[in-house]
């Protein structure tokens, strides 16, 4: 009897986390397939030249993944800026996000993933509904983005959304993608994996910073953590 009680007690934390994951909800927005010009007309070294691109339909998170959502899945909050459950989770690496998604997918039986950088830019520009704004949702950065908070993240969804109803695609935290920085050589390969493309500017950028351009392509080492980097999730169309 004592052994049974001990076993039940020891399993409670895992049971609690499993229940949290089962009840977890990520609000997703459908991005219709379409053609759009991605990249920059006068590209800098870190940008693609303007290219007419076709993007298949997918679903993407309405908001960046929050500290509360991360904690529900992983059991702890790694963020540098704590005490804000509705702020984006940060101080995480690209590799950490892979573990998060594996854990989440195992419990939910879904296939959440990171967006490719083309999917991210397509969604940030408003998809097939784009109005070709300078920033994601407006030409006035302050209306759509947290970029002047001296590096302190803010609760998601407080600014106005873009054409698709997506929040914080510009500002707050930069967002990991699934894409590699590679020119088909090993020049950009580090620690057993390629540098990963990160999109969007941060709450420490200032809107005149080139990183706020929707075509800007940053890159990060997959194992390094940063308190200005976060992510949002994608689900493929069900076939």
Nearest to 169 by CA among 70, 49, 62: 62
Q: Give the β-pairing of 174-180 and 229-230.
A: parallel
pLDDT at 167 > cutoff 80: yes
Residue by residue, DSSP assigns 91-106 as SB-HHHHHHHHHHHHH
For the chain, the structural domain boundaries read 21-236
Is residue 132 helix, strand or coil? coil
Residues 30-89: tens digit of each pLDDT: 999 999 888 888 777 778 788 898 999 999 999 999 999 999 999 999 999 998 999 999
**Mean pLDDT, range 121-144, rounded to an integer:** 94
CA distance 35 to 10: 53
Return the closest-CA partner of residue 195 out of 178, 208, 213: 178
Sign of CA dihedral 50, 54, 56, 58: positive
Q: What is the pLDDT of residue 8?
A: 37
Model pTM score:
0.87
101 contacts 115 by C-beta, under 8 angstroms: no
Q: CATH: 3.30.70.260, 3.40.50.720, 3.90.1580.10, 3.30.1490.20. Which one for 21-236?
A: 3.90.1580.10
Name 72's Cβ contacts closer than 8 Å, sequence gap at least 6: 17, 20, 21, 24
């Amino acid at each position: 009897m004592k052994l049974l009680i001990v076993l039940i007690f020891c399993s409670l934390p895992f049971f609690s986390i499993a229940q949290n994951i089962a009840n977890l909800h990520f609000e997703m927005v459908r991005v219709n397939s379409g053609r759009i010009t991605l990249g920059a007309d006068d590209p800098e070294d870190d940008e693609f030249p303007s290219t007419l691109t076709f993007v298949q339909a997918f679903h993407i998170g309405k908001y960046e993944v929050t500290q509360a959502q991360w904690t529900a899945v992983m059991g702890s909050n790694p963020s540098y800026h704590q005490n804000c459950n509705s702020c984006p989770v940060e101080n995480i690496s690209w590799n950490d996000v892979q573990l998060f998604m594996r854990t989440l997918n195992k419990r939910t039986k879904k296939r959440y993933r990171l967006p490719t950088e083309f999917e991210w830019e397509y969604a940030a520009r408003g998809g097939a509904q784009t109005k070709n704004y300078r920033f994601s949702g407006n030409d006035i950065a302050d209306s759509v983005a947290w970029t002047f908070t001296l590096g302190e993240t803010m609760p998601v969804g407080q600014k106005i959304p873009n054409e698709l109803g997506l929040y914080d695609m510009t500002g707050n935290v930069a967002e990991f993608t699934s894409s590699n920085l590679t020119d088909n050589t090993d020049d950009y390969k580090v620690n057993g994996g390629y540098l990963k493309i990160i999109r969007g500017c941060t709450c420490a950028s200032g809107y005149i910073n080139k990183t706020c351009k929707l075509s800007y392509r940053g890159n990060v080492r997959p194992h390094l953590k940063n308190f200005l980097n976060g992510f949002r999730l994608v689900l493929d169309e069900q076939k």
